[in-house]
Structure 1
Amino acid sequence: MHEYLIAPLDLAEHLLSTPPVVLDVRWRLGDPDGREHYRQGHIPGAV
Structure 2
Amino acid sequence: MQAQALAAALSPRLGRTEDMAGIAAFLFSDDGEWINGQVWSICGGMHLRG
TM-score normalised according to structure 2 size: 0.30
Query: TM-score when scaled to structure 1?
Result: 0.31
Higher helix share: 2
